Structure 1
Amino acid sequence: VFIPVFYRLHLTSAYEYLELRFNKAVRVCGTVTFIFQMVIYMGVVLYAPSLALNAVTGFDLWLSVLTLGIVCTVYTALGGLKAVIWTDVFQTLVMFIGQLVVIIVGSAKVGGLGHVWEVASQHGLISGIVLDPDPFVRHTFWTLAFGGVFMMLSLYGVNQAQVQRYLSSRTEKAAVLSCYAVFPCQQLVLCMSCLIGLVMFVYYQEYAMSAQQAQAAPDQFVLYFVMDLLKDLPGLPGLFVACLFSGSLSTISSAFNSLATVTMEDLIRPWFPPFSEVQAIMLSRILAFGYGLLCLGMAYVSSQMGPVLQAALSIFGMVGGPLLGLFCLGMFFPCANPPGAIVGLLAGLIMAFWIGIGSIVSNMASGMAPSPHNISSFSLPSNLTTVTMTTLMPSTTLSKPTGLQHFYSLSYLWYSAHNSTTVVVVGLIVSLLTGGMRGRTLNPRTIYPVLPKLLALLPLSCQKRFHCTSYSQDLSVDTATFPEKMSNGMLKNGRDKEAMAVPEEGSAHQGNSPTFILQETSL
């Protein structure tokens, strides 16, 4: 749904869509929200793996942070999106190989994968399907099947770090296929991560754990385990460390690139005179370096946070839901207008931070901790998507909370669904109260016609109230030429007949916009 709309609009930044659909104010609000989300999160991503490496190997913490930040900043700024994508390919291979080595060697030492599964089952680490529909239960079938979908949409549907990959594809079909390819690969990586956890559990049932390991933080267990397991195999511990840092490099490089892109396209280009291609590339590189330094500073701030580090990690999840809701509001509801979008986004952010921070403070005050049994639910592939998120939000199912504590115990997987729904509902109410899109002209290509089809059987007067009478056209066709874009999704100089022409299916971008040159060659 999202990729065809973004791709056919010939966008560079996902937040450019918000200006086409609403106005510049909404675009700036979306961009600033995204920048806040990513800068906070990147500080944590830089700091966390370096902290784990320092605790286990004694490697200097800040030398590790500085090296990771500088290397990533340099190759992202100089190589741009192409460098990010190709290094991601290499880093993915390193992650696969590193995890596979640990699984093979570890399972061989404890008697095979069959024995690992048997011991894990005996200790209650393998759970079945939980069909409880209660959204306050941390992990259930419904939470994973529905709440998890919204969480993934916020990450892979509207986040600039992912959208920039889709938009760099040569054809729309290739962009869609690349999106489909993400999910089996992601599930495989998560399955392997969970299997490493089971192998580690069984390993320490048979081998003694040192006093230092017993006192280590949970995030450091795997590195201690790898050092124990592979200490007699030269080079393999280093391979796993490379696996660990490959994940960080992949995330950081994509974030630097996306931050520089949205700053350039959403905050600089619309307000300053046109840049030449050389000037745009140089400015983009400066922005990438600047964000690299800023994230290094945020890594230091993360080191001073202590227990509040979890709150910084939670910000990434809390902001993703409202942004998803903002795009859904604009794309699926023709009656939504700029005031509704801004008020809806603010309402979603307020609700997100209220529940998220309230949950953290409430659990810290009551001393609640995640349940080991709940964390180790490995029986379903869909359940595996939650394991890497167990440190993001504390479990809230160990007691029977009441009042606000019960409200704060909403499963973290429902956060995106709840917050995006808040944006849509509030945005629609405000839009209808302020006259909807009456008096404004919409570009039909900014609307995905779901609502018009759902309301097709209702009276025409009802459809007109939701402004759904003129958006039933088929959006499955592409355009060879897209007209010059203006605020509120308007077409300059009226309807452009050439924009309605239908080229061959799967054709590549034909536009000559310098933003695509920037994206392909620099950022």
Structure 2
Amino acid sequence: MDLPVLDLVIFLLYMLAIVGFGVSFSFRKRSVADYTRGGGKIPSWAIGMSIFATFVSSISFLALPGNAYLSNWNGFVFSLSIPLAALVAVRFFVPLYRRLNSESAYFYLEERFGPWARTYASACYLFTQLARMGAIMYLLALPMNALFGWSISLIIIVTGISVMIYAMLGGIEAVIWTDAIQGIVLIGGALACLGVLVFSMPGGLGQIVEIAYQDDKLGLGSFDLDFTTSTFWMILVYGLFINLQNFGVDQSYVQRYLSAKTEREAIKSTWLGSMLYIPVSLLFFMIGTALYAYYQVHPELLPSELQAINSADKIFPYFIVTGLPSGITGLLIAAIFAAGMSTVSTSVNSSATVLLSDHYKKYINKSPSAKQEMNVLLVSSLFMGLMSIAVGLAFNGVASALDAWWALASIFSGGILGLFLLGFIVKSTRSKQASISVFAGVILIAWMSLGSYIFAADSPLINPLHTNMTIVLGTLAIFITGFLLTVLVKDPSKTKP
């Protein structure tokens, strides 16, 4: 179907404005510290909005309403784990990274376990970000292709280049300030959509709640202690580990801690970004539930091909195009792209910082000039941007891009949190013990992630737990193995501080 002219104009103006605004930061005189930390002078509210926008990718924007439409609010339990993870972050992680004052999140691992730990963790981070950026751009392109016939490859290329331009030229300041704007746009778009849905119902909000309650659409999942399916406790534990990983070892978040003026400001921004995600994610679930009630009352408005279970993620985009007034449709499409662009831009900038600090300055040129450092940042941003486009194009044709992303993310990122917690909590663990622990954890993660691709469907060797438990058990395996080795294997050598 064709997008009305007004909506197309709003969308294109948004894309041009956000890229232009981001590029404008390149005209300022900047140092390397400005490029990677914003000179440590960015307001806490803007950093907080950037943290929030990084949380909300286009996957969340489309998948959460689809999840609520199809089942219930079980996925919202993930958000309920955020306050505890944020509390740990502001109590321990933010002060740690502010004290170390290194632009790399993995400098601490080198301090504890030596260069191999820093290189290992930073390489895992880079691979994770490539997979993440590629998956986000591909999954963003799917509904746009289905609704408007736009080429998947073209959407990926245009989105990738747009983000790469301002992330590369503008640095962390451009990323944070454009994230702040994009966060406002996606919140505004979601509120407008929910408002239209409520006013489109004959009985208003009360009718939505009544239908949702009758059809058990407001539940948080089973409270059984079962980790083989998506129960309340499984999602809560998974969310806690994922969010601890985000706050503790994700370069994207650590750079934001360092971009604030003071430690107090960094803590405020962490609380703002994390706690804002809770009501906004609830908003997305409310949209999904309202969509369910809307099409229960107006079943004739939903095409038969979208009534299948596997079409739930397409319901929200379909309503955006067919159920919203002209103008608001353009705003919602801009909001979907905002969610994707904010996450990708963050990954481009943070990955470039990792390439400079953890690889170029460590193995190629230990004492580069400021000009050389800036050139490396620009080239690294360009390289990661182009590689993410290539990964996004490679996802095209994969049976399930989301499943592929989950498997890749588990393999690449599952071990870093365990290594970090081992170094942070067990002060006497040495490098050799840590390396053995990481090896054991990675073996477990690989088995849990890839077992279904290797063994027969009825094989007892296949992981019986839910896929989301991979990072949980992988992290625990590294931590527990390292702890036991530290306690059982005595060595008089002293541990690095």
What corresponds to 2:356 in structure 1?
A: 264
Structure 1, residues 311-357: CA drift from partner, whole Å, max 9, x if none? 22332245433211110011111121112222222222221221123
Structure 1, residues 335-380: CA drift from partner, whole Å, max 9, x if none? 2111222222222222122112335778xx86xxxxxxxxxxxxxx
State how 1:149-168 maps to structure 2 within 5 Å. Answer: 149-168=240-259
What corresponds to 1:324 in structure 2?
A: 417
Distance across 1 between alignment mates of 2:344 and 2:178: 12
Matched, 1:426 2:458: no
Three-state SS of the structure 2 residue aligned to 1:306 is: coil
Distance across 2 between alignment mates of 1:67 and 1:191: 31
Distance across 2 between alignment mates of 1:90 and 1:360: 42
Three-state SS of the structure 2 residue aligned to 1:289 is: helix
Matched, 1:310 2:403: yes
Q: Is the 8 A contact 2:93 2:247 kept in 1?
A: no
Letter in 2 for 1:116: I
Matched, 1:339 2:339: no
State how 1:107-186 maps to structure 2 within 5 Å. Answer: 107-110=198-201, 111-127=203-219, 130-140=222-232, 142-186=233-277
Q: Which runs of 5+ in 1 are unaligned?
A: 367-400, 444-523
Q: Is the 8 A contact 2:166 2:174 kept in 1?
A: yes
TM-aligned CA deviation for residue 145 of structure 1: 3.9
TM-aligned CA deviation for residue 77 of structure 1: 0.7
Change (3 A) 1:147 1:51: closer
Distance across 1 between alignment mates of 2:93 and 2:347: 20
Matched, 1:276 2:349: no
Distance across 2 between alignment mates of 1:251 and 1:158: 17
Q: Is the 8 A contact 2:175 2:346 kept in 1?
A: yes
Q: Is the 8 A contact 2:223 2:231 kept in 1?
A: no
What corresponds to 1:245 in structure 2?
A: 337
Structure 1, residues 419-476: CA drift from partner, whole Å, max 9, x if none? 111011222344456645x433523xxxxxxxxxxxxxxxxxxxxxxxxxxxxxxxxx
Q: Is the 8 A contact 1:161 1:258 kept in 2?
A: yes
Change (3 A) 1:41 1:324: same
Choose from 161, 175, 181 the match for 1:70: 161
Choose from 226, 235, 246 the match for 2:320: 226
TM-aligned CA deviation for residue 293 of structure 1: 0.6
Alignment RMSD? 2.2
Q: Is the 8 A contact 2:224 2:231 kept in 1?
A: no
Matched, 1:61 2:116: no
Letter in 2 for 1:186: Y
The aligned length equals 401
Structure 1, residues 31-65: CA drift from partner, whole Å, max 9, x if none? 11111111112111111111211111222322211
Distance across 1 between alignment mates of 2:230 and 2:275: 24
TM-aligned CA deviation for residue 84 of structure 1: 0.7
Matched, 1:235 2:343: no
Q: Is the 8 A contact 1:302 1:309 kept in 2?
A: no
Letter in 2 for 1:442: K
Q: Is the 8 A contact 1:325 1:421 kept in 2?
A: yes
Change (3 A) 1:219 1:144: closer
Matched, 1:294 2:384: no
Distance across 1 between alignment mates of 2:137 and 2:183: 18
Structure 1, residues 159-218: CA drift from partner, whole Å, max 9, x if none? 111111112211111112211112221111210110111111111112221134346733
Structure 1, residues 54-90: CA drift from partner, whole Å, max 9, x if none? 1112223222111110111110111111111101100
Structure 1, residues 383-439: CA drift from partner, whole Å, max 9, x if none? xxxxxxxxxxxxxxxxxx99445xx23234433332111011222344456645x43
Letter in 1 for 2:212: A
Distance across 2 between alignment mates of 1:52 and 1:128: 27
Letter in 1 for 2:371: V
Distance across 1 between alignment mates of 2:495 and 2:229: 45
State how 1:317-396 maps to structure 2 within 5 Å. Answer: 317-358=410-451
Distance across 2 between alignment mates of 1:418 and 1:29: 19
Q: Is the 8 A contact 1:154 1:416 kept in 2?
A: no
Q: Is the 8 A contact 1:311 1:357 kept in 2?
A: no
Distance across 1 between alignment mates of 2:327 and 2:349: 32
Change (3 A) 1:279 1:312: same
What corresponds to 2:295 in structure 1?
A: 204
TM-score between the two structures when normalised by the length of structure 1: 0.72
TM-score between the two structures when normalised by the length of structure 2: 0.76
Letter in 2 for 1:180: W
Three-state SS of the structure 2 residue aligned to 1:157 is: helix
Distance across 1 between alignment mates of 2:371 and 2:489: 44
Letter in 2 for 1:200: L
Distance across 2 between alignment mates of 1:45 and 1:348: 27
Letter in 1 for 2:158: T
What corresponds to 2:73 in structure 1?
A: none
Distance across 2 between alignment mates of 1:179 and 1:308: 30
Change (3 A) 1:145 1:298: closer
Q: Which runs of 5+ in 2 are unaligned?
A: 1-91
Three-state SS of the structure 1 residue aligned to 2:400 is: helix
TM-aligned CA deviation for residue 292 of structure 1: 0.6
What corresponds to 1:499 in structure 2?
A: none
Change (3 A) 1:63 1:113: same
TM-aligned CA deviation for residue 153 of structure 1: 0.6
Identity between Structure 1 and Structure 2 (%): 29
Change (3 A) 1:206 1:441: closer
Three-state SS of the structure 2 residue aligned to 1:126 is: coil
Distance across 2 between alignment mates of 1:308 and 1:257: 24
Distance across 2 between alignment mates of 1:433 and 1:411: 32
Letter in 2 for 1:15: Y
Choose from 127, 131, 135 the match for 1:40: 131
Distance across 1 between alignment mates of 2:303 and 2:422: 54
Distance across 2 between alignment mates of 1:167 and 1:413: 30
Q: Is the 8 A contact 1:311 1:360 kept in 2?
A: no
Distance across 2 between alignment mates of 1:338 and 1:80: 35
What corresponds to 2:470 in structure 1?
A: 415
What corresponds to 1:442 in structure 2?
A: 496
Matched, 1:81 2:172: yes
Structure 1, residues 464-523: CA drift from partner, whole Å, max 9, x if none? xxxxxxxxxxxxxxxxxxxxxxxxxxxxxxxxxxxxxxxxxxxxxxxxxxxxxxxxxxxx
Matched, 1:217 2:311: yes
Distance across 2 between alignment mates of 1:201 and 1:308: 25
Q: Is the 8 A contact 1:29 1:342 kept in 2?
A: no
Distance across 2 between alignment mates of 1:28 and 1:67: 32
Three-state SS of the structure 2 residue aligned to 1:55 is: helix
